[in-house]
Amino acid sequence: MMARGIIASVGLAAFLALAVPAGAGTIAADADTTLDGFLDQLADSTSEYFGASAAPLDTAGLDSALVYGLAHPRARRTSLRPSFNPDFMFNRVDGPVYLLGMGIGAERSPGELRAEVGYASGPNDVLWQVRGTRSFRALGGRWRLAAGGGLATGSMDRERTGARLTSARAFLFGKDDNHYLRREGFDIGLQREAAFALVGVRYRDVDESPIATSAGWNLFRRPLSTYSNLAAYPGRAREFEYSALVKVDPFPAEAEVIHQTSGNAIGSDFEYRRTRVALSGNVGLAARATLMPQLVYGRLTGQALPQASFYLGGSRTMRSMSSSARGGTGFAQARLEVIGADDVLETLRIPHPAFLPLQIGVFGGVGAVWGVDPFGGPSRSGGDWPDREHWVSEAGVSLIYQPGFPSPTTLMRVNYAWPLGPERESSNFSVSISHAMDFLKTARD
């Protein structure tokens, strides 16, 4: 009955509405007024909540200020005041490095220039770097141009990150298993950012040379975890790099492809092709946790240079192994990780300051390197894929702090990982700072 009555009312209403077409404009205006009233009502409640923050603007004097402002334009408010920062780094090839950095400008406008000069007290070398970056909008998208050059110590593992933590560990406890080389030259790269992808091209022209260990000490006088430094193959590397980071719609995942090519045709002393493909997923589990499956596959063909090889071990790859424990011309790894969203201290009712929410993560992974061993050992068998015996596996837990910067998914973590299976290194405790999806080399955010 109720429904019939309503329908009858609606019918009557329709009739009446049709009968008064002349008033339609007024009615539409009323409808808009009604919507305004509805929104104003919500806005009033907002204003009440925010109080003085929502108070209306005092407009007195604004008109004359506008006339003056238009007649007297201000200069662009970009600060060109340079900033200076002293820095300190340490590794076993350079020893203590005393650095002074200088920066000027801003990347968006007019561009940023950073320079750094340092004294490596081990080999008594002066190291320096200059890098300029400029991002701009053109052709309907955002672009980033970066160019730089200098003489610097670099890692043999081209995917390695977290140099600062490694430096601190090496200085305090002598724990640094990475291998280093010297690079002198320049590089220039251009990136284009779109809604679903980030693509880039980069050219580098550098002299690569080996460097020997010169600092066998550390602050707490512990024995060095690794003393010798793997020698780089000397020569001039001219290389083109093509990269793409793509969102894999509709799946919550991102894929990255990086291809590097170097050859005599472009005046390089080296002849190789290096390709690395990674896939990282980010699946929410009922807003309480995140499931992150990650895969990576890499191949180096041509000259098997140590400085172009792939390395396995360390917090970014296999956390139960020490950094760069194994190397090869082929590389494959898979990791499955679950990171809880809740503050574990709060869950356990442990009193703690608000700025210290800690999360728990668990992970498991498998990985392998195969092909020519850059450390000079026998080659590990396998073609496009490693033979079964070269796979290693692990499981572990992490205590995670997510500061929200410098990128929203930066994770500071303490990991404890156990090797699975026979004939493996012992369990490993590690500290790392990295993006959550650390198989992706290109930082999107």
Partner 1 sequence: MHRPIPTALYNFSRPTLHGASIAGVILAATFAFAVAGPAEAQTSGPTVAREDTMHTQVSEVLVRAPRVTLDEILDRVARGEARRESLIVDQQFIASFRLVRPAGSKGDTATILSERVMRVYKKKPNHVRTVMLREYERDRRKGNAEVNVDFRGGMDEEIVNFAFRPEARRDFRYRIVGRDFVGGHLIYRIEFSPKSPLDRTQPSGLVWVDTNEFVIVRQEVKFDRSPVPLFIKNVERMVIERKKYGEHWVMSRAMIRIASSIKLPKLGKGFDFSLRFDQYVMNAGIDDAIFREGTGR
Q: Which of residues 270-299 bind partner 1 (CB under 8 A)?
A: 282-284, 287-290, 292
- Structure-derived torsion over alpha carbons of residues 403, 404, 410, 413, reported in degrees to the nearest 10: 20
Distance CA 132, CA 111 (A): 7
Among 1, 48, 355, 426, binds partner 1 (CB under 8 A): 355
Interface mask (CB under 8 A) for partner 1, residues 109-138, using x and -? x---------------------------x-
Of the two residues 33 and 301, which places its CB atom closer to partner 1 in the complex?
Answer: 33
Of the two residues 235 and 357, which places its CB atom closer to partner 1 in the complex?
Answer: 357
| Contacts with 78 (C-beta within 8 Å, 6 or more apart), sequence order | 105, 106, 109, 110
Q: Answer whether the bond into residue 250 is a cis peptide, omega within 30°.
A: yes
Of the two residues 151 and 255, which places its CB atom closer to partner 1 in the complex?
Answer: 255
Q: Which of residues 411-440 bind partner 1 (CB under 8 A)?
A: 436
Q: Which of residues 76-95 bind partner 1 (CB under 8 A)?
A: 76-77
Residue 331, Cα to own-chain centre: how many angstroms? 21
Q: Closest by alpha carbon to 118, among 107, 104, 130?
A: 130
Least Å from the CB of residue 319 to partner 1: 19
Of the two residues 10 and 201, which places its CB atom closer to partner 1 in the complex?
Answer: 10
Does 7 interact with partner 1 (rule: CB under 8 A)? yes
Among 387, 408, 429, 443, binds partner 1 (CB under 8 A): 408
Does 141 interact with partner 1 (rule: CB under 8 A)? no
Least Å from the CB of residue 364 to partner 1: 18
Whether 127 contacts 151, CB under 8 Å: yes
Rounded to 5°, the CA angle 98-101-105 comes to 175
Number of residues located near partner 1, criterion CB under 8 A: 87
Q: Which of residues 15-34 bind partner 1 (CB under 8 A)?
A: 15-20, 22-24, 27-28, 30-34
Whether 104 contacts 82, CB under 8 Å: yes
Least Å from the CB of residue 51 to partner 1: 5
Of the two residues 231 and 412, which places its CB atom closer to partner 1 in the complex?
Answer: 412
- Structure-derived torsion over alpha carbons of residues 304, 305, 306, 309, reported in degrees to the nearest 10: -60
Among 101, 185, 263, 357, binds partner 1 (CB under 8 A): 357
Query: What would the DSSP string read from start to end of 107-175?
Result: TTTTEEEEEEEEEETTTTEEEEEEEEEEEEEETTEEEEEEEEEEEEEEESSTT---HHHHHHHHHHH--
Least Å from the CB of residue 45 to partner 1: 9
Among 1, 48, 73, 221, binds partner 1 (CB under 8 A): 73
Report the SS3 class of residue 189.
strand
Interface mask (CB under 8 A) for partner 1, residues 178-207, using x and -? -----------------xx-----------
Least Å from the CB of residue 352 to partner 1: 11
Q: Which of residues 313-342 bind partner 1 (CB under 8 A)?
A: 339, 341
Of the two residues 37 and 376, which places its CB atom closer to partner 1 in the complex?
Answer: 37
Whether 159 contacts 405, CB under 8 Å: no
Of the ranges 117-125, 232-240, 268-276, 401-409, which one interacts with partner 1 (CB under 8 A)? 401-409
Whether 136 contacts 166, CB under 8 Å: no
Rounded to 5°, the CA angle 374-379-383 comes to 110
Q: Which of residues 370-399 bind partner 1 (CB under 8 A)?
A: none
| Contacts with 275 (C-beta within 8 Å, 6 or more apart), sequence order | 257, 258, 259, 260, 298, 299
Of the ranges 4-12, 88-96, 153-161, 309-317, which one interacts with partner 1 (CB under 8 A)? 4-12
CB-hemisphere CA count at 13 Å for 185? 18
Among 1, 48, 49, 86, binds partner 1 (CB under 8 A): 49
Distance CA 255, CA 246 (A): 5
Of the ranges 48-56, 263-271, 413-421, 426-434, which one interacts with partner 1 (CB under 8 A)? 48-56
Whether 176 contacts 162, CB under 8 Å: no
